[in-house]
Structure 1
Amino acid sequence: MNLKNPSLDELDLVLGLCRNGSLSACALSMGVSTAYVSKRLAQLEQRLGLKLFHRTTRSLALTEVGETFVEWGQRVLDSSQDLMDALSAERSVPQGLLRVCSSSGYGHSRVAPALSELVKQYPALEVQLELIDRPIDLLTEGFHLDIRLGETSEPDLICRHISGNQRILCASPSYLKSAPELKELADLQNHACLVIRERDQQPGRWVLQGPRGEETVRVRGAMASNSGESVRQWIVDGHGVGLRSVWDAAPFLRSKKLVRVLPKYFQEANVYAVYPSRLASSARLRVCVEFLAVRLCE
């Protein structure tokens, strides 16, 4: 049988379905209708004479042949982009798709504006940014670049330092007026602490650097969130002590809406660009990382 090779768009569609796990989620990420995605998949499977996914009403699971399709499809897409990178390097004009992820607070406040400037400077780039407050597996989730707070020790990933950052302990003056004494790290156990699930730490357990080196304290409080902006607002509103990045807390410290407490303690949370080692020679990635290394240090 003489089969027509799948197009790059079809390969991208199948990999998108694999990443998103459902027709509707994939359609949402592509900005098209679920019916369109379903039709494209059905047409591809019919032409190949192969079933790539087991379908239920809510999810998709790769068949055995689908797993082979995705494995080789990713290689083909990578090779195609490598070709464009090579051409871009020759022309000194980076182009192509960059899938970037970051945490919601830092991504919204710092990464998104920087990427806006990047695309203005290099209009041949296509950038997709996703803000995700959970650990990311770059290799399986299809991202090219993760701008994260905190180092990584994952294999097959390159981790480049972008800028310095620390998390510090803050509270509002109104909270401190009626709160228990706060002189030692252990005193936090007697305070309302506003907990957020950061990518690089466990909720309810703060590990900080202090005069005696690294110390750990268990904290608790009546309010918690996966949104850094919400927690910061709760700290300002006087609900307790919180651990926030310097870049996030600085404007509120200057306006005296927040006060730094236990100033000898901090948590390292430097900013890193993390990307798969196979993309080390990518022109579009190199330009993006070098641009962010300058822009995010400002």
Structure 2
Amino acid sequence: MGTHRSEGARDWQDQDGAENPEQSPRPWNLMIKHRYVQRRGRRSHTTVSYTDPLVSMDLLRAVLQPSFNNDIMAVFRKYQKFFEKAAENVKENVGDDVQPDLLVREAYRNVLEHAKQLFPEGEGKKAGSEIPVKRARPIDEEYCHRGSPIPKKRKSRPGAVHSSDRTVNFSLVKPKSEPIKREGPKWDPSRLTDGSTFVLGSRANKALGMGGTRGRIYIKHADLFKYAADSKDKQWLAERHHMRATGGKMAYLLIEEDIQDLSHSDEYKDCPDVRMDELKPFSVPPWMVEKMQRAMEAQRDSDP
């Protein structure tokens, strides 16, 4: 019986091949479409209509994301030598326990975080979120009223108005990014003395009401001096219960005076989430102060 089917299949192929392919081209696209319509009727009775503009744009973003990544990496490679040189300088001044590659990667992440300010979230995002999304309806309802898989002509959607509004708002908003300034009295290494007091960056982050986002203070106030503690520093801090043993994790120290000045600024003085009792300031030995002075000298702008 299997032999009979094979011979029948060959006969069908011979008859099919006897036709002139130039005169009767096979409409493969139509055949695929026809078969697809038949199968989807068996699979499910519901369908989803992607009328949300945000979904459509995100689909396009997913397609272009690899190209964006390649272009972004090309930009980073262009400036890589500057970041690597700075990281090596920090290692020479702070200690051998500093890992330059981690510092470079963290700097890259900060660059990407600050780049978001080129596209601020304004009224355009709110308007886009209010665009209604068409609900899914039974597929039988669509096809019982028309015998063709060609979709019906839909009424104009108000989403186009919101889309144009979002474009206008984007073009009118100015970026808020400003160059980071590491100069002036706050970046004078002589201000660090044996009587200076310091706080952990994690506690300063929590004291200013940013405890929910780790390291937010370093991004929002990038002009603050921060000292990356090495293994010897972390051992000294842990022995005196200023911090818990963190292993290989980075630990930063900030100057208490800088955090106090921020708390009295207009941005934080009336903020209910500010809790300055979380700072827990402390002093450090002279040998650590000297390392901080060298780190500040390396980080500050060369031409103040």
TM-score, normalised to structure 2, is 0.19
More strand by share: 1
